[in-house]
Structure 1
Amino acid sequence: MAGFVSLWCRRDELLKDVYDAFRDAEQCRYLEFLAAVKIQSCYRGWTTRRRIANLHYHATVIQKWYRGHVGRRYYRNLVKIRLHEMRMNFYHDMATQIQKIWRGYYCRKYVHNYSAYKNYLKGIETTNKIVTDRLSFYQLQLNHKLAMERRRREEEILHEEARRTHYLLSTVVLPGVYNSPKKPQVEREERLRKSRPRSRDHLVFKEGGEPIHLPPLVPKVQGPFRSPDEVQRQQHKPLQPTLRVSTDFYCVEKARVAIQNAEWVARIQDKEFTPFSHIQQRYEPLLHTKSSYQRPAYGTLHFRETSSSNIKGRKRFATLVPSIPLFDQFNKTY
């Protein structure tokens, strides 16, 4: 009872305290609501991001194991293909060796007989020796004949010269030119004694008795001219072009074609064994590149706007550097 009386006495103070508490609570209600919303948004965002990151992690692990399985399967198939190619190349090499040995044996035994070819070469060597001996003997005879002809011509020239200069012969009273006491030429002197002087029938005399030499049948060309034989040889000499003139303009292309044809003829297998040389595998993108949480397209966010309708202003951007007047006069006739 005493407690109730004390409370009743303090009723105004208690009512005031309750009213102040309700007033303070009403004043802080909106701030507390905003704080609660902030805490809830942070917590919900954290949980959502954690859940998405967990999903990405699990998807990445699944893709990793699947791609590892696919890669190992592809590698096993590739190893099988390479092993098959190695075996086929080895079989081809062995077949080539067998073909080479058999063809060599067949050619040596049936196509190119070594003993017959040896006898043939021996016969050619004997024939060549006989022909060489005959040609050597004929060359000696021809050289001897040419030497005799040259000696005869020299003798004729000396004899004609001696007949023409027979008046230089020494006499009993007066010695000749070739009988000089300081430098005598006995051989020329003896040749002059043995030869007879030329007759004077080829000379024509005038009325006074002076001889006139008749002109030659073929007049000699005066001046720095070449002989007709040399001109004839110069006109009919064979053509000797340079290497650049004699070489064909398309010699490189022709040589390449000839090399390709020779290679194609010598090749045993025309087509290569490449059944699995081109294997294409489709690319599988990651999960986060397919979802909405991905990067923006290249050039749509950080580049300048290129659409003319979104550009504000009607005038174009004017540069501060004037144009070069020399370019304005290009292709003009003034």
Structure 2
Amino acid sequence: MAHFFLMQGKMDEVAKKLFAAAQEANDALPTEVAAVTKIQSVHRASQIRSVYHAVVAAAQLIQRIIRGCLGRRRAKSVSIERTNKLQLHFFHHCACTIQRLWRGWWSRLHVHDFYMRRDYLVKVEQRGKWTQDFLSAEHKEKLHAAKMEEEVKVREEFDNLAGDLHHLMSTSSIPGVYNPPYSDLLPKAFEKPIEDHLRDACRVQLPKALRRPRHHKLPSPKGSTSYGASQAEKLGHDLGAPPQELPERAPFFSRTASTGHLRKVQGPFRSREQIEVANIKAANTYRTIQASSPYDAVEADRRMQERISKLARSSPVDFMAPGSVKDRHSPVSVHVGLPYKERPLSLRGDYVELPKIRDKPPFFTALGQGKQFSDYHEQPMLPHGQV
């Protein structure tokens, strides 16, 4: 009983210890929860890693088996393809050899006959020689014909020239130019002395230079007049046309006279009225300034300058009526007492050009450019009033 009462006194102590233990447990709860969570995470991670490694090992095993199978299949296909290529190459080589042998045999039998080709080449060589011989012979003939033609032409020219040199022949008293007395060798042409050529070519007739040329009178065109007409107008040629051949003109016997006689007309030519008008215009247009100005222009200008200087002159003494008394002495200099001017006196003749006027409209004329006023007055220059 006594112990019971002793325990009754310790009831508060038990409650306090229980409260303290509960408080400690409550304080240690986050630490315990963290520890439990850590243990669970480590355990679960180890389990997951073991499962992952097992899955990876299984996948690697499957991939290794599949890749090995595919590699063996690919190697087998490559080996088969290589074997097929080698066999095909061998078959092609055999086929080419067979075809080459067969084509050679067939071409030698039907196309390329050795003996026929040899005969053909012999014929080609023989024909080439015949062609060369024929061409060389024809070339020699043409050269000979050209040489003969040139020789004939030279002989004709020489004979024509020798026909005009009869005055160089020898006479009974004087030897000729081509018969020198101091030399035994005479000059020859065409294996014949030139003296003989001159004697054979000499013809009893007048020299060509002394013969009268044959003139032909040209009919004048209808409606044309001889007054003021040029040579081209008389012949009926267009003034703007190119050079024309002169009609009905036969060559002279002399070469020098026929040179200008047969020359083309080098028109166009101006008429007499056009030449007169051009000369008068040239006299008015191209004469000098001194010739176009009046004769006494210099003297008139000098007198005008003297008048202007007298009008612009200023006296140093003020104006005074006649008879009045001077109230001061005359200045010692001309410039004393003169008003100062900012710029000198300017007259109308000092202006070189007219002053510029702003917004001035342009000045148009009815006359064309590049022509003077005197060019429009052509009526008095002509004798009959027409150009």
TM-score under structure 1 length normalisation: 0.52
Q: Which whole-Å deviations, capped at 9, do the CAs of 1:117-156 have from their partners, x for residues lacking one? A: 1112212222332333333333333333332332222222
SS in 2 for 1:195: helix
Kindly name which structure, 1 or 2, has the bigger radius of gyration based on alpha carbons.
2
Q: 1:27 to 1:196 in 2, by over 3 A?
A: closer
Taking the TM superposition and a 5 Å limit, the aligned residue runs for 1:41-80 are 41-80=41-80
Q: 1:216 matched to which residue of 2?
A: 251
Once structures 1 and 2 are overlaid, which stretch shifts more, 170-179 or 105-114? Answer: 170-179
Structural mapping, 1:94-113, within 5 Å: 94-113=94-113
Q: Equivalent residue of 2:201, what SS?
A: coil
Q: How many angstroms does 1:185 deviate by?
A: 6.3
Match of 1:195 in 2: 200
Cα distance in structure 1, aligned partners of 2:148 and 2:199: 22
Alignment deviations for residues 74-103 of structure 1 (CA, whole Å, 9 cap, x no partner): 121122022112211221122022112211
Distance apart, 1:108 and its partner CA: 1.6
8 Å Cα contact 1:169/1:189 also seen in 2: no
Distance 1:190 1:10, change over 3 A: farther
The CA deviation at 1:73 is 0.8
Partners of 2:179 and 2:186 within 8 A in 1: yes
| Contact 2:163–2:203 (Cα < 8 Å) also in 1 | yes
Query: Residue in 1 aligned with 2:93?
Result: 93
Distance in structure 1 (CA, Å) of the matches to 2:138 and 2:54 = 111
Query: In structure 1, how many angstroms separate the alpha carbons of the residues matched to 2:166 and 2:56?
Result: 135
Question: Which deviations, in whole Å up to 9, do the C-alpha atoms of 1:165-224 show, x marking residues without a partner?
Answer: 2222232444444456899963364244442324548979xxxxx63234429986679x
**Contact 1:166-1:192 within 8 A present in 2 as well:** no
The alpha-carbon deviation at position 107 of structure 1 amounts to: 0.6
Question: Relative to structure 2, which stretch is displaced further, 107-116 or 147-156?
Answer: 147-156
C-alpha distance 212-54 of structure 1, shift in aligned 2 (>3 A)? farther
CA contact (8 A) 1:169 1:176 kept: yes
2:310 maps to: none
The one-letter code matched in structure 2 to 1:20 is A
Structure 2 unmatched runs, 5+: 215-249, 253-257, 266-387
Structure 1, gaps ≥5 residues long: 205-209, 224-334
Residue 257 of structure 1 corresponds to none
Cross-structure match for 1:123: 123
Equivalent-residue separation in structure 2 for 1:38 and 1:46 (angstroms): 12
Partner Cα distance (2:182, 2:32) in 1: 159
The alignment of Structure 1 onto Structure 2 pairs a total of residues equal to 214
Partner of 1:154: 154
Q: 1:136 to 1:75 in 2, by over 3 A?
A: same
Partner amino acid, structure 1, of 2:201: R
Q: Percent identity?
A: 27
Which residue of 1 is the match for residue 187 of structure 2?
186
